[in-house]
Structure 1
Amino acid sequence: MQPKNRPPHTHAPRHHQSGPPSTRRAMVARRAAQTTALLATFGLLAACATEEEPPPPPPPAPSEELQEPTSTPEPVEDTLTQQGVSAGHPLAVEAGEQVLTDGGNSIDAAIAAAFAMSVVEPFASGLGGGGSVVIAGQNGEPLFYDYREMVGVDGEIPETGIGAPGFVAGMGRLHQEHGSLEWDRLIQPAQQLASEGFEVYDFLASRMTEDLGPEAIDGVEPFEVDGEPLASGEQLVQTELASTLETLAAEGWESFYTGSLAEQLTQVEGIDAETLADYEVTASEPVSGEFGDYEVLAAAPALPGPALVQLLQIAESQGIAELEPGSAEYIQTLSEAWLVAEETVLTEIGDPAFVEVPVEEITDAESNAAIEISTQSAPQDPDAGSAQGSAEQQPAPAEGDAPRDANTTHISVIDDEGIMVSMTNTLTNFWGAGEVSGGFFLNNQLSRFEAVDSPANRPEAGRKSVTWSMPTIVLDDEQRPVLGIGTPGGHQILNIMGTVLTQWGLQDAPLQEAVDGLRFRLIAEDELLVLDDEPDDETREALEDLGWELQVWPDEWGGFGSVQALEVDYETGEVTGADDDRRVGSHTVID
């Protein structure tokens, strides 16, 4: 099949200057308009926008029936001949596949895969964490759900950085509003994996022995035998987690927030009964923006979806479509766009329930095309590099140390009715806070308030922090979902997504080729360009001539994520996936 279903691109000539980053960024025309109010309940999204943002309704207790359930996007007009699941581990893919085969929809399959990932990737996501999801069909409003971790009612951040987990509430609300199979059916594959066990794979084994892993699993029985971490090839059985999942399946998701599971969770520092009972999943419309022949649907604030749209629009306006992927000029151009988008994350993104985020300005294609990117000074110039704050918050790892935030996990699903799901779940750092309750690890998401220290991202009761996760769906010119995509990778996610999407969306690269391509990121404070593979001699010399020191991160660090993506061809009704060999992610296509 053809990788994309659209006419060929035509591009006007552009002039591009290569060179290192500069701080002279003109944020052109980005302060004039007010952002459209993000509505607290999706039942209101179809209504016309009002001039003033209405006050948010009081959050319902998790046990209460939601008064205004959202509507699942309508199926595409032409039923697809195939369905697909892409996730970070083959066993999670299998869980989602079984659900689709049993007649479940894409939301059912994503929930099942997410619970399964919490078992087979306990260091990256799970019941103690949070996440977000974008859902789209051909007709009807697309949906965005934010179920990330929340500051407690006392407004304090515990030393561990643990926030009230939202993962279970997110899965519960998705099932309540869009699920077609029974709740316990969706948890069953995960419960079976936890109770019967699975074979430890290399990446899991390395996470247990590197960086924070040894401290996190110290004394945690399933992960150690006689004080030694399980090795690759050994069996991991998580009996306590299996029991928790069994309770969750039998008593419903509310038990995590107001029932028997909540009682256990309140023993964790920073989590109290009132905070759990008040936890609220927020629903809104995703951020959207023009990109090539497409429309990008990205995660709404406090997630950095607006910055992804901005990065793509700047890169497009700077002529990246004509540049060879992996070349010095391509790396420089995308990095310049990233520096602007990174600055946006560090200064403007925040929880929209507490601050106004100028989404429409950030994602305005005309304004972003007018941003002048100066590339004349060398990195050693005092004026070089615009994202100094980000560099200070994550300096280059010391030799032998992996980047701690190369985390999260992503799931993409599409069913035969054309409903696409793009879901990213996380504990924040690998192993989160390193604390265990009920057999699962707790997040350290509230540490992101310190990591992104801006007036738009200040901790207070009920607030959610800026994070790097960005589940994304791409629509074609008929408003049909043609690509569901996302990745782990922590601070690298924005650049990873930019690299894959510019090659796929602007250069017509096949999806697998775009996923396989070179990944990189500037760490401007250290005058450093990190890559996931050694460049050829010509590219290395050109980058060094620009003043950058190059560093290659080893594959085993997992610092550049694992893209999970599914693509749809509506002419044939077929689905295509891509496997990212940087980790163990896989996909399946069901006829």
Structure 2
Amino acid sequence: MNRTFWRHGRTWLALLLSALALPACQAPPSRWEAPEIATAPQVKAGRALQRQGVAAAHPLAAEVGAQVLRDGGNALDAAIATQLVLALVEPQSSGLGGGAFLLSWDGRQLQAWDGRETAPAGATPALFLDAQGRPLPMAQAIASGRSVGVPGTLRMLEAAHRRGGRLAWARLVQPAIELAEQGFAVSLRLHQSIAASAQLRADPAARAFFFDAQGQPWPVGHRLTNPALAAVLRRVAREGADVLHSGAVAAAIVQRVQHHPERPGTLNESDLAAYQPRLREPICTDWRDWRVCGMPPPSSGHIAVMQLLGLLDALPPSTDPTERAHRWIEAARLAYADRAQYLADPTFVEAPGGDWQQLLAPAYLRQRAALIQPRAMGTASPGQPGGARLAFAPQASQPEHGTSHISVVDAQGRAVALTTTIEAGFGSGLLCDGGTGLPGGFLLNNELTDFAMQPTGADGRPVANRAEGGKRPRSSMSPTLVFDRRDGRLLATLGSPGGGAIIHFVAGTLQGLAEGLTPQQAADAPHLLNFNTPLSWLERGRWSPEVVRGLRARGQQVQEDEIPSGIHVLQRDPAGRGWLGGADPRREGVVVGD
């Protein structure tokens, strides 16, 4: 496909990205429930780097990471410092109270770190059922103590740093401490996110911190300090991540969860003390000239991304934009059907056929791709990879929410892809001061709403991704590293926020890069979403009438909406001049480096 085709609308990639952007479990009747609010897009030119750089969701965070690289830190160091600043300046998306997945390449070895939150020991499959056995409304489930999982980000980052960091841990924490004490200017995106958050208004502590005395969100440019977070981080710098899992900070977390006025949770101090990150075996998949590597379950990201791309490659080539868009929607339906059926915490659920790679086997993907016909299938049924027996019921549709992503490369060719989350915008809305008694603090996640709200199917079979004590909820986070299949060179690091739509954003970006787009062009491209639902969503104002009519003629139900992705990608310059970076125009992220 030549560049002229892309320049005249880039409809194919837009459809791809869209199809990958809606959660497999979500089927709102008329509107996509975006993980975070949409804000006005910003024109971004991309960035060429000679040696090293950071792509992250806020300029202050990216600049801190870039400075760590200049000071002799490696890619892992830079990612840690960047994330700790994001916890302050982008509290709607991630923080100390959440979880993360990290891919780290040190030039020789690839590590996949699982810092996903876990359910407390007292959690049961009925976690989100009311007294009549019906699932709670999602808004009530989110704004509750029940939704809070044991946070894992900080312990995971510390464990990864012990194995591969270069600079001292305290050095990496210091920039976030200083910014929390000195304050930072509230951005337009943060202002609008605060204004739109029902969770923050519902929690007295959060309301007192994020709103003024008249109940108005702090205006753009207001210098917001966070004394409680600074105090907690000072202890973290001295004592490490255990500060969050024992003592006064842990007691403060438990108090917030167990004393929720309407829907308290069971999380206790022993749950916090017991949490451990896990070093898992990454999943790597050969695709075209690349070897694409990502996280295994409990992330569904890599498997669904590579299923979608593999299904498309199993079909005859086509240059017709409407046909290719139609195929993307249908392939997404098939991938999300398998995701809803099989993917969950591997400690609790066995892989189909005994191996997660069965879902990516070429023969299986060819068999599934044969189901893609000229007319829309509506919804897809799961396959049976490796002859798998359908022991579980597929998970019913439900919303999934937001995250943040950091991509880093350093001058020695090491790289990190880190996707981090507290789930919904501002998580559960419960602000914890860490027992400091100071204003501010960190928000607690609502990650447990990523479990199936309805834990059984209509036939009574359990859902694989149901809540259970100690279980990690399924995620769509898709931190991705790309290598050359021939010589093993690192080619790219990428990822995105977007809830269940992350899968689509990452797959669409990979497709665009493989077709010759620059990172910025791939990040700019319009979106189309489907999550194995009858309705698909087109990014508003980005699609030609011809494509819309063509999709409808094929039986596709489509509707326009805002689709706020957040791709951050660094790619080795094909011309051999360092790295090219792209940051999504739909958010305030940037690429910074040298």
TM over 0.5: yes
Alpha-carbon deviations, 1:289-329, whole Å to 9, x = none?
A: 11111011011101012121211111222256x536xx322
* Worse-superposed segment, 455-464 or 284-293: 455-464
Is contact 2:570–2:579 with CA below 8 Å preserved after alignment? yes
Look up the match of 1:248.
236
**Among residues 121, 127, 135, which one is paired with 1:153 in the alignment?**
121
Is contact 1:531–1:550 with CA below 8 Å preserved after alignment? no
**Among residues 87, 90, 93, which one is paired with 2:62 in the alignment?**
93
1:529 aligns to what SS in structure 2? strand
Q: Is residue 128 from structure 1 mapped to residue 97 from structure 2 by the alignment? A: yes
Is contact 1:169–1:253 with CA below 8 Å preserved after alignment? yes
Partners of 2:328 and 2:524 in 1: how far apart? Answer: 17
Count of aligned pairs = 492
Look up the match of 2:133.
none
Instruction: Give 2:501's aligned amino acid.
Output: Q
**Among residues 294, 314, 317, which one is paired with 2:290 in the alignment?**
294
Q: Is residue 259 from structure 1 mapped to residue 247 from structure 2 by the alignment? A: yes
Return the offset for 1:390.
9.0
1:317-356 to structure 2, matched below 5 A, reads 317-319=314-316, 322-323=318-319, 327-356=321-350
Return the offset for 1:525.
4.1
Look up the match of 2:34.
none
Instruction: Give 1:91's aligned amino acid.
Output: L
**Among residues 445, 448, 455, which one is paired with 2:447 in the alignment?**
445
1:159-178 to structure 2, matched below 5 A, reads 160-178=146-164
Q: Is residue 200 from structure 1 mapped to residue 200 from structure 2 by the alignment? A: no
2:101 aligns to what SS in structure 1? strand
Partners of 1:103 and 1:144 in 2: how far apart? Answer: 23
Return the offset for 1:378.
5.3
Is contact 2:379–2:534 with CA below 8 Å preserved after alignment? no
Look up the match of 1:412.
407
| Alignment RMSD (CA, Å) | 2.5
* Worse-superposed segment, 368-377 or 304-313: 368-377
Look up the match of 1:455.
463
Look up the match of 1:274.
270
Look up the match of 2:385.
none
Return the offset for 1:345.
1.4
1:413 aligns to what SS in structure 2? strand
Sort the Cα spacing of 1:93 and 1:440 in 2 relative to 1 into closer, same or farther, 3 A: same
Look up the match of 1:187.
173
Return the offset for 1:363.
2.0
Instruction: Give 1:500's aligned amino acid.
Output: T
Return the offset for 1:107.
0.4
Alpha-carbon deviations, 1:360-410, whole Å to 9, x = none?
A: 11122343133234344755xxx622279999624xxxxxxxxx7441000
TM-score (norm. length: structure 1): 0.78
Partners of 2:454 and 2:282 in 1: how far apart? Answer: 22
Partners of 1:164 and 1:87 in 2: how far apart? Answer: 25
Look up the match of 2:15.
none
Is contact 1:436–1:442 with CA below 8 Å preserved after alignment? yes
Is contact 2:451–2:466 with CA below 8 Å preserved after alignment? yes
Instruction: Give 2:510's aligned amino acid.
Output: L
Q: Is residue 365 from structure 1 mapped to residue 351 from structure 2 by the alignment? A: no
Partners of 2:218 and 2:73 in 1: how far apart? Answer: 35
Q: Is residue 530 from structure 1 mapped to residue 530 from structure 2 by the alignment? A: no
Q: Is residue 224 from structure 1 mapped to residue 232 from structure 2 by the alignment? A: no
Alpha-carbon deviations, 1:241-293, whole Å to 9, x = none?
A: 12211221122211211233223222132321111111010101211111111
Q: Is residue 285 from structure 1 mapped to residue 285 from structure 2 by the alignment? A: no
1:446 aligns to what SS in structure 2? helix
Is contact 1:406–1:560 with CA below 8 Å preserved after alignment? no
2:452 aligns to what SS in structure 1? helix
Alpha-carbon deviations, 1:413-447, whole Å to 9, x = none?
A: 11111111000000111111111112111111111
Instruction: Give 1:578's aligned amino acid.
Output: G
Return the offset for 1:84.
1.2
Alpha-carbon deviations, 1:95-122, whole Å to 9, x = none?
A: 1011111111110000000101111110
Look up the match of 1:476.
484
Is contact 2:99–2:117 with CA below 8 Å preserved after alignment? yes
Q: Is residue 519 from structure 1 mapped to residue 548 from structure 2 by the alignment? A: no
Sort the Cα spacing of 1:147 and 1:523 in 2 relative to 1 into closer, same or farther, 3 A: closer
Look up the match of 1:29.
none
Partners of 2:108 and 2:122 in 1: how far apart? Answer: 42
Partners of 2:117 and 2:532 in 1: how far apart? Answer: 30
Partners of 1:251 and 1:87 in 2: how far apart? Answer: 27
Partners of 1:205 and 1:314 in 2: how far apart? Answer: 41
**Among residues 575, 579, 588, which one is paired with 1:575 in the alignment?**
579
Look up the match of 1:465.
473
2:241 aligns to what SS in structure 1? coil
Is contact 1:160–1:433 with CA below 8 Å preserved after alignment? no
Return the offset for 1:480.
1.9
Partners of 2:182 and 2:316 in 1: how far apart? Answer: 53
**Among residues 487, 490, 502, which one is paired with 2:496 in the alignment?**
487
TM-score (norm. length: structure 2): 0.78
Partners of 1:570 and 1:177 in 2: how far apart? Answer: 31
Is contact 1:138–1:479 with CA below 8 Å preserved after alignment? no
Return the offset for 1:147.
0.5
Look up the match of 1:315.
312
Return the offset for 1:523.
5.4
Look up the match of 2:108.
139
The structure whose RCO (Cα within 8 Å, separation 6+) is larger is 2
Partners of 1:570 and 1:377 in 2: how far apart? Answer: 36
Instruction: Give 1:301's aligned amino acid.
Output: P
Is contact 1:520–1:532 with CA below 8 Å preserved after alignment? no
Partners of 1:349 and 1:261 in 2: how far apart? Answer: 33
1:283 aligns to what SS in structure 2? strand
Instruction: Give 1:483's aligned amino acid.
Output: A
1:185 aligns to what SS in structure 2? helix
Q: Is residue 423 from structure 1 mapped to residue 418 from structure 2 by the alignment? A: yes
Is contact 1:334–1:499 with CA below 8 Å preserved after alignment? no
Partners of 1:420 and 1:539 in 2: how far apart? Answer: 38
Look up the match of 2:35.
none
1:133 aligns to what SS in structure 2? strand
Stretches of structure 2 lacking an aligned partner (at least 5 in a row) = 4-18, 20-48, 128-143, 259-265, 383-392, 434-440, 456-461
Partners of 2:159 and 2:94 in 1: how far apart? Answer: 18
1:383-402 to structure 2, matched below 5 A, reads 384-386=378-380, 393-394=397-398
Partners of 2:319 and 2:183 in 1: how far apart? Answer: 47
Sort the Cα spacing of 1:547 and 1:463 in 2 relative to 1 into closer, same or farther, 3 A: same
Is contact 1:532–1:560 with CA below 8 Å preserved after alignment? no
Sort the Cα spacing of 1:166 and 1:585 in 2 relative to 1 into closer, same or farther, 3 A: same
Return the offset for 1:123.
0.8
Sort the Cα spacing of 1:146 and 1:418 in 2 relative to 1 into closer, same or farther, 3 A: same
Is contact 1:411–1:423 with CA below 8 Å preserved after alignment? yes
Instruction: Give 1:148's aligned amino acid.
Output: R
Look up the match of 1:11.
none
Partners of 2:537 and 2:395 in 1: how far apart? Answer: 11
Stretches of structure 1 lacking an aligned partner (at least 5 in a row) = 4-20, 22-79, 395-403
Alpha-carbon deviations, 1:471-498, whole Å to 9, x = none?
A: 1111112122211000001121111112
Look up the match of 1:545.
553
Return the offset for 1:196.
1.4
Look up the match of 1:61.
none
